[in-house]
Structure 1
Amino acid sequence: MIRKALALLVFSTSLAGAQEAPEGLAKAPGAYLRGLDKIAAASSDLTLAVGEAARYGSLSVRLDECRYPADDPAANAYAFLEITDTSVNKMVFRGWMIAQNPALSALDHQRYDVWVLRCKID
């Protein structure tokens, strides 16, 4: 299972600039994310449309793309995110996050965690 997810991650990363989604994956117009403030022990949900950015604490979270298995939309989600820490004006994450395996490609930030819940398909 982890090998399959890792292979898909590598394949998906190489397609970051591609126009077409890989066979079996469909593009969604948005995504649902969750953020955790580790110091305040508080979580918040974010809903983003593709191309939209939202603030979460000192982070700016931008969704570039969300893909999901076309035959089972609830099975997984793959989101390409760009996350910038605006307090130091530095990009802290850029890449694909996988809902079922968030540890494979995770945000490494001292205060915040952000992960993908699912694609928004409605």
Structure 2
Amino acid sequence: MRRLVMVLALVAPPSLAQSPGWVQGETAELQALDKVTARISTIEARVGQTVTFGTLEIAVATCHRRPADEQPDAAAWLTVKDNRLNGQRVFAGWMFAASPALNMLEHAVYDLRVLECR
């Protein structure tokens, strides 16, 4: 039973919108780095949409930001799959703009971080 709860947490992200100080957004702005070519790209992904960067498929399940009168921050629940690994999931969870090292994609070729939520 305990295992099932953890699996469901990865499929359905917990909502920050019900937490005080967070506002739900519609679009996540992400920054992606290809470590091989040193190419940095800014990616805009609407909530519920999947975008690609290199061999990665990045799905944004939800995106939240702090109101303008509070300290700036953004958080997005991302699921990342690598097509080079037959679509295997390489990341699923929250990424925070103000603390990119807190929960990050660990990949040999790519880095990914959340910049903003609008």
TM-score by length of 1: 0.80
Structure 2: gaps (5+ residues): 1-8
Alignment-derived partner of residue 110 in structure 1: 108
* AA aligned opposite 2:54: G
Structure 1 CA distance for aligned equivalents of residues 115 and 18 of structure 2: 20
Cα-to-partner distance string for 1:62-92 (whole Å, 9 max, x where unaligned)? 1111111124477010010000001112100
SS of alignment partner, residue 87 of structure 1: helix
Structure 2 CA distance for aligned equivalents of residues 73 and 63 of structure 1: 24
* AA aligned opposite 1:46: I
Alignment-derived partner of residue 61 in structure 2: 64
Matched, 1:44 2:41: yes
Alignment-derived partner of residue 93 in structure 1: 91
* Superposition misfits of 4+ residues, deviation over 6 angstroms: none
Structure 1 CA distance for aligned equivalents of residues 16 and 40 of structure 2: 33
Matched, 1:79 2:76: yes
TM superposition shift of 1:20:
4.8
Q: How many residues align?
A: 108
Percent of pairs identical after alignment?
32
State whether residues 16 and 64 of structure 2, in contact with CA within 8 Å, keep that contact through their aligned partners in structure 1. no
TM-score by length of 2: 0.83
Structure 2 CA distance for aligned equivalents of residues 82 and 115 of structure 1: 12
Quote the RMSD (CA, aligned, Å). Answer: 2.2
Structure 2 CA distance for aligned equivalents of residues 18 and 107 of structure 1: 21
TM superposition shift of 1:18:
4.5
SS of alignment partner, residue 20 of structure 2: coil
